[in-house]
Amino acid sequence: MDIENKPSEQETTHFGFQTVKEGEKAQKVANVFHSVAQRYDVMNDFMSVGLHRIWKVFTIGKSHVRPGMKVLDIAAGTGDLTLAFAKKVGKTGEVWHTDINESMLSVGRDRLIDKGFSLPSVVCDAEALPFPDNYFDIVTVAFGLRNMTHKDKALAEMYRVLKLGGKLLVLEFSHIYKPLAPAYDWYSFNILPWLGKKVAQDEESYRYLAESIRMHPDQETLAKMMQTVGFERVNYHNMTAGIVALHEGVKLK
């Protein structure tokens, strides 16, 4: 069989530092989030010393969301951004809470209801979004892009469902400033798994988290990926010395 004719399921990708078949990655990622869903928010506070809340507030501010807008929150999980957007768009707006992982989606849906918001919560794959073209004013994905097998396909889908003039916001762990990298690596591969074991009773999932961050494209590479699928006015904002970056791009064609 010619190499170019090999079935796609034989192609490989990364799961953390492991090399796995593409068809296996989604289930492996799903297992991670099924495991951590109930303790996800608590672990976020421990891991980031609460900084994830500031990163998300900054993201909401950069969205320039207004009443009446339509917002798609991808990999929305426990719903931090979904809830914030729902408060901003008001009764005339529309916010969709989506995730590929049913456990994370369930935790987020319950939390939204507890806060008084009955929003559509939908299990969907970011690489094949079940929404029409040119529908949303804003699309966001926070700490989810790095887990996707085909990031280029997911970004293209986000571009497709945005209206002309619509904005994509990608909040994701990124590449820290080089002088701080040794200390950050020590923290990531020693403290994070330890916290996972003590707080979430799951050391391996948080070891995967550290590995997946290292395998995610750096700031410039992700910006070029967004430009390749059509986004313009692409830029990014480093936060906490590059531990996290917020990328933004606009659909103009």
Both tokens of 176, joined, read 């820290």
Between helix 22-36 and helix 40-48 the angle, nearest 10°, is 90
**82 among the known binding-site residues?**
no
What is the arithmetic mean of pLDDT over 220-238?
Answer: 98
- Output the pLDDT for position 240: 97
As a residue count, the chain comes to: 253
Whether residue 156 has pLDDT greater than 60: yes
**78 among the known binding-site residues?**
yes
- Output the pLDDT for position 12: 81
Whether residue 195 has pLDDT greater than 80: yes
Class of domain 20-29+48-176+217-251 (CATH, top level): alpha beta
Q: Which residues contact 36 (CB under 8 A, 6 or more apart)?
A: 43, 196, 200, 202, 205, 206
**125 among the known binding-site residues?**
yes
> What span, in angstroms and rounded, lies between the C-alpha atoms of 42 and 127?
29
The whole model's pTM is what? 0.89
- Output the pLDDT for position 229: 98
Whether residue 153 has pLDDT greater than 80: yes
State residue 52 phi and psi, 5-degree precision.
-60, -25
Q: Name the percent of the chain in helix, strand, coil, to the closest 5.
A: 55, 20, 25
Q: In Å, how far are 113, 149, 168, 238 from 63, measured between CA atoms? A: 24, 26, 8, 16
Q: pLDDT: is 196 or 92 the higher one? A: 92
Whether residue 212 has pLDDT greater than 80: yes
Between helix 51-63 and helix 40-48 the angle, nearest 10°, is 100
What is the arithmetic mean of pLDDT over 1-24?
Answer: 60
Which helix (H) or strand (E) segment holds residue 141: the answer is strand 136-142
| Closest to 71 measured CA to CA, from 170, 166, 171, 172 | 166
Q: Over the stretch 87-122, which tens digit does the pLDDT of each residue have?
A: 999 999 999 999 999 999 999 999 999 999 999 999
Annotated domain spans of the chain:
20-29+48-176+217-251
DSSP 177: P
Low-confidence winner among 73-77, 86-90, 191-195 (lowest mean pLDDT): 191-195
Low-confidence winner among 40-44, 140-144, 146-150 (lowest mean pLDDT): 40-44
- Output the pLDDT for position 28: 64
Both tokens of 65, joined, read 């969301």
Residue 239: strand pairing partners: 244
